[in-house]
Amino acid sequence: MADCYFIGIGGTGSKCVNNYVYSSAAGLGPDRLWIGMVDQDDANGNVAESRSNIENYQRVRRILRTPGLSDINDKTDLFKTNITTQVGQTSWCPLPGTAPTLKDVFSYDLLNKDLQDTIDCLYHPQEELNLELDEGFRARPSIGAAAILSRVQENDPFWVNIFNAIDSAKAGTEVRIFLVSSIFGGTGASGFPSIARLIRSEMDKRGIRDGVYLGGALMLPYFKFPKPGEDEIKEVAYAESFLEQSRGALDYYHRLFEKEQRKTFDQLYLVGWDPLIELPVFEKGGNLQRNPALLPELFTSLAASRFFMANSVDNGIFHIARNDANAFSWDDFPEINDQQKIVKDNLSQMTRTALAYREIYYPYLVDQWRKVKNESWFRNTLLKQGVDFNNDETSLNFNNLLAYFENYLDWLANMIHFSQNATVQGIDLVDVNMFSQYENSQVTISDKVRDHQLKQFNSLISGVNSSSLAKVFLKMNYSRVPKNRTGIGAFVGALYESCKS
């Protein structure tokens, strides 16, 4: 298995990172994965959410996969991927600091007159050179490209990981790097080709021709949001310009790929959505910019998994289309490396596990465990596996698991609710109404799913008549814990297997 690196660039890139972490939790990722984000808007809500998701993932994975203490075993897909990041720097900000401007990047005031004039020709002196960039490059790839290329340094801890990985290819290790961003907007559109070419040039510098593969997913316009106010329109991305920008960017890529001797990308995936998904709210940046997960982003995860998990990397530019423009179902997902139903199977199983854990089992793993301590499932999957319920850390671990599963359900519900409006017959994947509500352009997870709704648990996943909660409980009671499962991992493993469709 190759060493895998996933880099999300810009706001959309960070959303795709978030998406890939959840996909990895569902077992769709590779065995080992390094994740990083590049975003000028470091305080961006989506970046913060992805960062938090990665930390939570790592915490839960430690709970489930610490051999000797708690182990779900290596045959189980759940939280299979060992996700690592640059410690303390999950995301890299090209221009850190308070309100940096392009003038600061170029040390404009220190340049001689000729260079200042040149820069004035390239960038608008008032609008662009003095634009405060603490909330991103505001849909100006030309600014982003300059800023990113000027700040990527070999000794930056974030990039050291990538460059060391490239070096390791000399020793025969296969390295696969996957970049994700949007083709529109600022940071992503500028960072995607810049970083890709930078990696290629680093390979050339080191004389590496083989062993390092570069893949990428570019998000074409797939959403739109209300036009910003007149006072903001000059300095922010707005949806109407997305198509125009995308056309320009695609033309740029076309010219780039046409003249290059060696392909920058071994695999490139282009993902779009028609018609555009309408987002109800708009924030120009900062911690308030927390756009909901959308279905097209999931395709970047599947593309990444295909790229990472294939035995060999075949060259190409890939596209996919829905079976029916007015509907979306499980059949519209691609297979991953000849595993036809892996997306449906894994996401279904994860969703059922998350909901069953939250609604049925969690209360009996914390406060009410004494009431059920003699029940078979509890004795076999927990007590006999050495889980100590008198230890405060145990309930903390169960709380962490709950938090992760709730976040997962929230992510899924957001993705489906918000993506519905662009598909006439709706998104027919998971009955998210069972555990969430969409009101006033907001998705909320129900505090408690009602009993009559839980009776429909077997039809939670569209197109599958899976086992009911009673059947899941029966399986839990008769589950055999393999010898290499211990601790909380034994319980979660049993639940995960019982929730198989």
Partner 1 sequence: MRFISSLIIVSIMIALIIIPAYIVAFIDIAFIGRGDALRNIIFYIIDQDPNIPGEERRFMAEDLLIFGIQPLLIYLTSFWSIIFISWIIVTEFLRIDRPNKAFKFMWIWFLFLIVMLVLSGYMTYYFLYSQKDVYQFVGGPQITSIIFLTTILSLILFYLTTLFITSRVNRPTVPLATILMRT
Q: How far is the CB of 355 from partner 1 (least distance, A)?
A: 13
Q: How far is the CB of 440 from partner 1 (least distance, A)?
A: 33
Question: Does the footprint of partner 1 cover residue 468 (CB under 8 A)?
Answer: yes
* Per-residue interface string for the shown chain with partner 1, residues 431-460, x marking contact by CB under 8 A: -----------------------x------
Residue position matching structure tokens 């961003």 = 181
CB closer to partner 1 out of 315 and 478: 478
Residue position matching structure tokens 């083989």 = 210
CA pair distance 288, 279, nearest whole angstrom: 14
CB closer to partner 1 out of 329 and 477: 477
Q: How far is the CB of 472 from partner 1 (least distance, A)?
A: 7
CB closer to partner 1 out of 210 and 367: 367
For the four alpha carbons of 217, 201, 254 and 38, in that order, the dihedral sign comes to positive
CA pair distance 16, 188, nearest whole angstrom: 12
CB closer to partner 1 out of 333 and 357: 357
Q: How many residues bind partner 1 (CB under 8 A)?
A: 22
| 494-498 CB contacts, 8 Å cutoff, 24+ apart | 494/377, 494/380, 494/381, 495/353, 495/356, 495/357, 495/361, 495/381, 496/72, 496/76, 496/78, 496/349, 496/353, 497/76, 498/356, 498/467, 498/472, 498/473
CB closer to partner 1 out of 258 and 451: 451
Could you say which residues in the range 358-387 bind partner 1, by CB under 8 A? Answer: 360-361, 364, 368, 371-372, 374-380
Could you say which residues in the range 247-276 bind partner 1, by CB under 8 A? Answer: none
CB closer to partner 1 out of 151 and 379: 379
b/e burial code for range 235-258 (CB count within 10 A of at least 16 → b): bbbbbeebeebbeebeeebeeeee
Q: Environment class of residue 206 by beta-carbon count within 10 Å: exposed (0-12), middle (13-18) or buried (19+)? A: middle
* Per-residue interface string for the shown chain with partner 1, residues 395-434, x marking contact by CB under 8 A: ----------------------------------------
> In 3-state terms, what secondary structure has residue 420?
helix
Which chain residues interact with partner 1 by CB under 8 A? 360-361, 364, 368, 371-372, 374-380, 454, 468-470, 472-474, 477-478
